[in-house]
Amino acid sequence: MTNEEIENLVNITDIVSLVSQYVNLEKQGKNYQGLCPFHNEKTPSFVVSPDKKIFKCFGCGKAGGPIKFIEEIEQVGYKEALHKLADFNGIKLSDTYKKKEDPNKRLYDLMNASKDFYKMYLNKTKEGLNAIKYLEDRGLTKEIIEDFSIGLSPDFGDNLYKMLSEMGFKELDMFDAGLIEKDKNGKIYDLFSNRIMFPIFNEFGNVVAYSARIYKESKDKKDHKYINSRETVIFKKGEVLFNFDKAKLSINKMHRVILHEGQMDVIASNKAGFTEAVCTLGTSLSKAHVDKLSKLTKSVVICYDGDFAGRNASVKAIKLFESYGFDIHLVLLPDGLDPDDYIKKYGIEKYKEYFNNNQIDKDRYLFNVLFFDKNLNDSNVLKALMNDAFELIASFNSMVEEERYLDELSKRINASIDAIKNDYANFKKTYWPAPQKAIVEKEEKKPKPISTKKFNSICEFRIIKYAQRSKVLALQIDEAISNSMDGMSQETQELWTELIYSYYENFETFDEGRFINMISEECMNHYMYLNEELKKDITKYNDDDLELCVEKIKSISRRISNKRLKEIAKNSADITEKSRLTDQIISNRRRKK
């Protein structure tokens, strides 16, 4: 397509009709005016000029022609925006801008056809009437059912398979899309049966999977309330977010995303007007999810269930969003309710009021959850809670915040502020990692003995915690254990390599959020696991302990090395080689002594 053809495409575009698909416009003289779709405003500052074929927001400053508008509103590139504008005008682009055929188009067409079948079965059958009543009893209006393309799968059989076959779709593609299966006799049957079907769309509006919900009481107790499509070529659970295709515009406009646990929560939020809500699909939040959201906003409100699992998931989500620099707030609904249950119990207006007035920052949330389900009359529970609270407060790196939270802690556990401050000072001096001097040779002072069992369980991570104190110390530790890496597990070796040779190659000081963002998901999971293990430990951080950690790593490495040497010597027929290996084992033992 030449520049002249592109210019012609712009000239034939009715920009008012184009923009009106997204914005409610009102005529003001020669121009049209409305609320800007790119930022949240109450007074219209967004103007469209039909004569000049341009839009301009006098609030946020965004401006341009029809192509630029599509780029911004749909979050697509220039070439894709051209195609969308051509589609809007009902014309075909020349070969220069011919769109490449998507290799998965046949699967998208297949899945979209299955969506239409499930919708038809919901709206045109006797069974569908019962399912619609179930949905309406749960507060879903006909508009919501239509908006989310909700459908119904028939009760057992191969109705979907037959319909898709008649439409010319291949059996193999139906298997690949996760729509059909074969029984032990080789008979084909529809995978989903007698369930409410919630289609899952990718960010471009194509159906890629389903979340299917039981709506009748099942005799089989093993039946799960929800089952999601298995992963396929077009559906990766760790990458797709429910409602993301519809929520993109609202996320862009509101400058935030609301994250829920389940589809019904997202739908409930939409009923209440929070159209920027999304959720994950049968999996925990991933780096791919957050990366996708970060392209639209750097602000999130997490609203998970208030039960134990929901609180744990919230804490993990906070860590991940922190690594991407998000502004994080949370809403914790009372009595362990989720948004869907809250709306059913109290109504939409009460939910909106509670959601808007009870958002707390991540620090406040992390502090509050420390006290959930804790028996403060148990001295062991109280000690553990104080240790966790001190660790959290120290991480704020703010004297004002320290003062405020220590004061609140003293009130919550009914202790004097002086006693709390004294214990906190001891905690920071003893446990909290801080910049530390380099490893030095010990003279007359002997290391304090430590339990072998306790030491073995945490020595690997304690080494990493020491390395986080400063780059200088980290490199000195690395030099000390460089020939003894076998003393760490394979997972910790990988974590250590990432810390020393990736992170400290680029940064001078340690930042946990930045570090987590750099490492793989496997490394991050191992790091989180080790972090949890460390909470069980009460050993003091000091120079003596660091020396013991280094020596323990070396000792384990020598033991592994000796075991290997013995095995090689045992299987070697060469007498000279046997003698050399035996000498090496003896030398290792002498070094240990």
Nearest to 329 by CA among 255, 253, 386, 239: 255
Cα separation, 188 vs 210, whole angstroms: 19
> How would DSSP label each residue in 417-470?
HHHHHHHHHHHHHHTS----PPP----SPPPPP--HHHHHHHHHHHHHHHHTT-
The CATH number given to whatever domain includes residue 308 is 3.40.1360.10
Question: How many beta carbons lie within 10 A of that of residue 74, not counting itself?
Answer: 17
30 with 141, same domain: the answer is no
Q: Which domain holds residue 344?
A: 244-351
Same domain, 521 and 568: yes
Q: Is residue 393 part of a domain?
A: yes
Q: What percent of the chain has pLDDT over 70?
A: 87
Q: Are 81 and 14 in the same domain?
A: yes
Is there a domain that residue 366 lies in? no
42 and 129 fall within a common domain: no
Domain closes at, from 166, 197, 228: 228
Mean pLDDT over 182-196 rounds to 92
**Tokens of residue 188, six digits:** 């084909």
Q: Is residue 592 part of a domain?
A: no
What does the pLDDT look like over 48-57, one tens digit per residue? 999 989 999 9
Length of the chain: 593
Between CA 89 and CA 66 the distance in angstroms is 11
Q: State pLDDT tens for residues 81-119.
A: 888 898 888 887 765 555 556 788 999 999 999 999 999
Q: Is pLDDT at 320 greater than 70 in this prediction?
A: yes
CA 75 – CA 224 distance, rounded (Å)? 37
What CATH number is given to the structural domain containing 91? 3.90.580.10
Quick one: pLDDT at residue 451?
37
User: How many structural domains comprise the chain?
Assistant: 5
Confidence label for 439 from pLDDT (cuts 50, 70 and 90):
very low
pLDDT at 434 over 50: no
Same domain, 342 and 251: yes
Are 92 and 115 part of one and the same domain? no
Q: Is residue 389 part of a domain?
A: yes
pLDDT of 445 strictly over 70: no
Q: What is the mean pLDDT of residues 280-293?
A: 89
Query: Residue 267 above 60 pLDDT?
Result: yes
Whether 75 contacts 252, CB under 8 Å: yes
* Dihedral sign of CA atoms 387, 389, 392, 394 in order: negative
Single residue among 78, 97, 116 that ends a domain in this structure: 97
Name the DSSP class of 242: B
Write down the pLDDT at residue 176.
94
Report, as an integer, the average pLDDT of 493-508.
82
Residue 59 near residue 39 (C-beta atoms within 8 A):
yes
- For all residues of the chain together, what is the average pLDDT? 84
pLDDT in tens, 1-13: 667 778 888 999 9
pLDDT average, residue stretch 348-362: 95
Q: Are residues 573 and 460 in the same domain?
A: yes
Lowest mean pLDDT among 63-72, 164-173, 427-436: 427-436
Using only the alpha carbons of the chain, give its radius of gyration: 31
Same domain for 266 and 306, yes or no, is yes
Residue 565's nearest CA partner among 593, 551, 536, 586 is 586
Q: Does 373 map to a domain? A: no
Residues 402 and 461 in one domain: no
Amino acid at 577: E
Q: What is the pTM of this model?
A: 0.65
According to DSSP, the residues that pair with 211 across neighbouring strands are 198, 228
N- to C-terminal Cα separation, the chain: 79
Residue 415: inside a domain = yes
Greater pLDDT, 255 or 569: 255
What is residue 237's three-state secondary structure?
coil
Tens-digit pLDDT profile for residues 367-418: 998 998 888 888 888 988 998 999 899 888 788 999 999 999 999 999 999 9
The answer to which of 22-26, 231-235, 341-345, 535-539 has the lowest mean pLDDT is 535-539
The answer as to whether 447 is a domain residue is: no
User: What is the rounded CA–CA span in Å between residue 280 and residue 333?
Assistant: 19
What is the mean pLDDT of the segment spanning 466-484? 87
Binned at pLDDT 50, 70 and 90, residue 541 comes out as confident
Measured between alpha carbons, how far is residue 186 from residues 180, 182, 225, 354 in Å?
12, 5, 27, 54
Same domain, 579 and 468: yes
pLDDT tens, residue by residue, 561-589: 777 656 655 555 555 544 544 554 445 44
The predicted-structure confidence for 225-250, as pLDDT tens digits, reads as follows: 888 899 999 999 999 999 999 998 88
Q: 84 with 168, same domain?
A: no
Q: Do 278 and 206 share a domain, yes or no?
A: no
User: What is the DSSP track for 14-66?
Assistant: -HHHHHHTTS--EEETTEEEE--SSS--SS--EEEETTTTEEEETTT--EE-H
The answer to whether position 150 is within a domain reads yes
Could you report the per-residue pLDDT of 149-181, keeping only the tens digit for each?
999 999 888 999 999 999 999 999 999 999 999
